[in-house]
Structure formats: C-alpha cells, structure tokens
Amino acid sequence: MRKGITPIIAIIVLLLITVALAGAAWTYLNTYMSGLTGQSVEVRDYFCVNDDRAVILIANTGTLDIDTSDISIINMSSGQPVSGTWTAADGTALVDNTIEAGKLGKWTSPLGACTSSDSCIFRIVGGTARAQIARVLC
C-alpha cells in the first residue's frame, strides 16, 4: 500500500497556492500603479494678470489629493523656488491647502523675480509627473 496524499487534497493545495500567488501579485501591482498615478499634476494654462502677476492653472490628474507644498514652482532664470498663493481655480480657498483629485488649482505670484521684464519661465514639478514648463508673457 502506497502512502501519500490523495489526488483531491493535492489539487486543493495547488489551487490554494495559485490563489495566494495571484493575490500577492495583484496587491503588489496595485500598490505600484497607485504610486505612479496617485499624485500627478498637469499644467493646464498660464497667463499674466495686470502686467505684474503670473497665474498658472494646475490640474491634479492623479487619483489622490495632492498638497500644494508637494508642488515645486521654480524660476528658471534664478533656479530658485518661487513663492505664491494657491486658490481653487474659481478663486475660492483650498481646503487644507489640498488640490483634490481631478480638480484645478490656481497659483499666483508677482513677476518681480524675473530677470526679463516681459516674461517669466517657470518649471513645475509635483507628484510623480514629469517636470513641465510654463512661460508667462506680460
């Protein structure tokens, strides 16, 4: 008489191993993709107001809310970060300085930091998106 496990128990064990591996793979890939697409910004528009203020509309194209402190706006002439004020695209205040997923934020800053009197070039970096350039002409 041979000793060992029955074919039914062997199939059940193999199915459990397969389900466990599939679950582990799904969890890993879901976490990986969420990290890539969770926080991503896109420059939608940029313009000058009253010949003295740069305005950049930035969309949160990710699936998670993004804090405005996680978005860097750098003056390309000086290489230094530029301070500005953040509001929602309609001009209302942002809740907790956060741009919700799928919403627009509006960044406004004086143009005094530019080396050229008629334009400013900004580099915008936020979340996992590639850096984007905005040239604001006045």
What is the reported pLDDT for 18? Answer: 96
The arithmetic mean of pLDDT across residues 44-59, rounded, is 87
Report the distance separating Cα 81 and Cα 137, nearest Å.
19
Mean pLDDT of 65-80: 86
- What is the SS3 assignment for 41? strand
pLDDT of res. 91: 81
- Does the pLDDT at position 81 exceed 70? yes
Mean pLDDT of 114-120: 64
Where would I find the beta strands (DSSP E) of 15-100? 41-49, 53-60, 66-67, 71-75, 85-88, 98-99
Predicted pLDDT of residue 11? 92
Query: For 42-51, what is the mean pLDDT?
Result: 86
Cβ atoms 101, 63 nearer than 8 A: yes
